[in-house]
Amino acid sequence: MSTMFLLLLLSTANVSAEKGLPRREPRRLSCVRCCGPSEQPISIISSRYTRMSSDPAYSVPKVQPTIDITILKGEKGEMGEKGYPGAVGKEGERGLRGFNGRKGQKGQPGPQGHSCKQLYAAFSVGRRKPLHSSDYFQHVTFDTEFVNLYKHFNMFSGKFFCYVAGIYYFSLNVHTWNFKETYLHLMKNEKEVAILYAQPSDRSIMQSQSLMLDLQEGEEVWVRMFKRERENAIYSEESDVYIIFNGHLIKPAVE
C-alpha cells in the first residue's frame, strides 16, 4: 500500500513538470554594499573581527607586562669624560637685595707707619758766598737754612729728596755778576728740566726761574752751573743772601 502511494506521488510530480509548472530555485544570499565606490571591499572575516573587537563582550584584554628592574639593572659604569661647556645663557634679572650679613671680627692692626713720612714738605735755603764755575758742570750747594721741614733738603749734598710723592713748586733766585754770564740748570735727578740764564752786562740784576714738578718718592731736585766759552758766575755776600732756592708740596699723590 505504501509502495503504491509513493509511486503515485512520483507520477504526480512528473506530470506537473511536464505541464510547465514553475520550478522553485534555491534561495541565494544577496550582497549588501558596505563601502563607498572608491573604497575596497572588506572581507567578511575582517568585518567580523572588527565587529567583535568593538563589542565589549569580544574585546581582547590589554596585557601590560611588568619588568623587574632589579633583575635587568647592570653594574654602574665608569665616569665619562667631561663634556664641552655649553653656550652662555642670557643674563637674568637682578634679584632682590639680600639680608645684611653678620658683623665680622675685628681685624689685626696694620704695620706701623714711617715716622718721617708726613704729607707735608717745604724748604727754603740760601747761599751767602759767590760762586765761579770752574768745571763744565758744577754743583751748587747752600749754606743758609731758612725752612727745612722734616729735613727733606740735604744741606750737605745740596739736593731735595722727595719723601712724599705729589706735585711740587720750585723757584730759584740768583744775582748776576757784572760782565759775566749766568747759566744754571734746575735738575730733576740727572736731567735738566729748566734753565736760568742772563747775558753778560755792565750791571748786575736779580734773575729768577720757577716751575712745578710731579715727583715720585725717591726722586731728587737740585741746581748746577753750566760753563760755556765765557766765564760763568753768580754773586752773593756774607752780609746778604742773593741766592735762594725754594720748594714745597702743593698736592700729595695720596691724601
Can you give 191-210 as a three-state secondary structure string? EEEEEEEECCCCCCCEEEEE
Q: 103 vs 160, which has greater pLDDT?
A: 160
Is pLDDT above 70 for 158? yes
pLDDT at 15: 47
Q: 68 vs 217, which has greater pLDDT?
A: 217
CB 165 within 8 A of CB 215: yes
Query: Of 29-38, 52-61, 110-119, 209-218, which one has max mean pLDDT?
Result: 209-218
Mean per-residue pLDDT over the chain, rounded: 78
Q: What percent of the chain has pLDDT over 90?
A: 33
Residue 15 grid cell: 506530470
In the numeric block, the cell 714711617 is attached to 114
CB 148 within 8 A of CB 125: yes
pLDDT at 31: 59
Is pLDDT above 60 for 132? yes
Name 189's Cβ contacts closer than 8 Å, sequence gap at least 6.
219, 220
Residue 111 grid cell: 704695620
Closest CA to 216 of 169, 252, 245, 187: 252
Q: For residue 188, what pLDDT band results from cuts at 50, 70 and 90?
A: very high
**CB-based burial of residue 128 (10 Å sphere; 0-12 exposed, 13-18 middle, 19+ buried)?**
middle
Is pLDDT above 60 for 107? yes
β pairing state of 166-176 and 243-252: antiparallel
β pairing state of 243-252 and 182-188: unpaired
Closest CA to 181 of 163, 161, 195, 167: 195
pTM for the full predicted model = 0.53
Is 122-252 assigned to CATH 3.90.170.10?
Answer: no
